[in-house]
Structure 1
Amino acid sequence: MKLTVYTREGAEAGREVELDDAVFGLEPNDHAIWLDVRAIQANKRQGTHKTKERSEVSKSRRKLYRQKGTGNARAGDAKSPLRKGGGTIFGPKPHEYRLRVNQKTKQLARRSALKYKLDGDALRVVEALELDVPKTREVVGMLTGNGVEGKALVLTAGRDDVFYRSARNLKGVRVLPADQASTLDLLNAKTIVLQEGAVEALTEALRPAQKATVAADTTDAPEGDDNA
């Protein structure tokens, strides 16, 4: 499979990039995407939520009124969860939400997300924009010239601080090295813009490992003695 490379003005650059079928040509796996996205969102949670229980509420421990003879229901102190300002019954406590997903599943999820974007014509390859100093105008011109609107994810071949600083003030635009984009990053973007060199970096990061094949032992066994 090949994709046309476009210039920063949106015209065809006259060349194409080859997409590895092992990365861009697979059948998307929705379950792998769900596992990875769930883990990403869970790992972002701080888990610091806390409510005060009965023993932690700052109120008097005095019994509100005598046990019998008032005509009211029996009552203890003001810390009772049944009263306003009392403790919370089985309230949330700080704990960790972190989930783990193995590397192969993460790679499969990212490949599946890219396949959905490719099938939805939301993947565009643009020649690299090299800047000496941050210039937001250049990034805006590149995105506008290529018809990119809304949320956009620009993937670079490697870390490009100048390009990042040029685009950080643009609403809805994110810039990431190709090998660091997560499944959630890929799915959240309306359009994924790949710099020309980022295709190779993304392919190297997501190409499935080849299974090692054990060579058969072809050495001849020593012949036995034919003498009867």
Structure 2
Amino acid sequence: MKLTIFNNNGIKTGRCLKFKKNLLKKENNNIIYLEIKRFLFSQRQGTNKSKERSEITGSTRKIQRQKGSGNARKGDIKNPIFRSGGRIFGPKPRNYNFKLNKNLKRRVIKDIINLKLKKNNIKILEDFDDKIIKTKLVFNLIKKLNINNKKILIIYDIYKKKFFLSYKNLKSIKILSINELNSFHLANADYLIFFESAIKKILKINIC
């Protein structure tokens, strides 16, 4: 499979990237699910806490006698059946993280890229940096690539200051470096835009 490389104006450069056939294999949906679940769980603080009966400030005096009143037994004012009483089985601080192997994480990233390749939802840009900071230039590039009004993830290897500052006002676009790349943002984007140097590092490909 071949992907055309575009320049900063969204015009074909005449060069392309050739992917090996063994790259386009069947994805493992189970490990994709586990890795995205791991990423989302790691974003949780796990600091929710409610006070139980023993942690509430209040009198421990028995409100009414145990028998003879005709009502249910109640205990003290901290009983969970009363307003401002303790909470039964409330949330406690906990760690939501769970571990997956590094090799599995790398495989999931490749599997998601494979899936996007099959759907033709990947674009390649040559390595460049804009001369001026202007959002209109970036908007025109996205429009030329026919992917405007879509959720877009741009992956880079070498930081390009003026190019990235031009993207700040476009809410539908997210930018990540190779080191920040994760399965959730890859799967969540409608289209992936790779800079040439970035995709070469992630996948084994040839220029034609």
Q: Is the Cα contact below 8 Å between 1:61 and 1:77 reproduced in 2?
A: yes
Match of 1:80 in 2: 79
Match of 1:148 in 2: 147
Deviation at 1:132, TM superposition (A): 4.4
Deviation at 1:2, TM superposition (A): 1.6
1:106 and 1:21, CA in 2 relative to 1: closer, same or farther beyond 3 A? farther
1:21 and 1:183, CA in 2 relative to 1: closer, same or farther beyond 3 A? farther
Give the SS at the match of 1:8: coil
1:99 and 1:163, CA in 2 relative to 1: closer, same or farther beyond 3 A? farther
Deviation at 1:190, TM superposition (A): 0.5
TM-score by length of 1: 0.81
Match of 2:6 in 1: 6
Deviation at 1:171, TM superposition (A): 0.7
Deviation at 1:55, TM superposition (A): 0.9
Matched residue type, 2:177: P
1:76 and 1:180, CA in 2 relative to 1: closer, same or farther beyond 3 A? same
Match of 1:109 in 2: 108
The equivalences for 1:1-228 within 5 A come to: 1-21=1-21, 24-149=23-148, 150-203=150-203
CA deviation digits over 1:101-120, x for unaligned, max 9?
11110011011100111111
CA distance in 1, matches of 2:116, 2:61: 65
CA deviation digits over 1:120-177, x for unaligned, max 9?
1111112334124533222222111111232100111323343332212211201112
CA distance in 2, matches of 1:166, 1:196: 19
Percent identical among aligned pairs is 32
Q: CA RMSD in A?
A: 1.9
Gaps of 5+ in 1: 205-228
CA distance in 2, matches of 1:157, 1:71: 75
TM-score by length of 2: 0.88
CA distance in 1, matches of 2:157, 2:134: 19
Deviation at 1:20, TM superposition (A): 4.2
Deviation at 1:19, TM superposition (A): 2.4
Deviation at 1:21, TM superposition (A): 4.4
Gaps of 5+ in 2: none
Matched residue type, 1:58: T
Match of 1:220 in 2: none
Determine which structure has greater relative contact order: mean sequence separation of CA pairs < 8 Å that are 6+ residues apart, divided by chain length.
Answer: 2
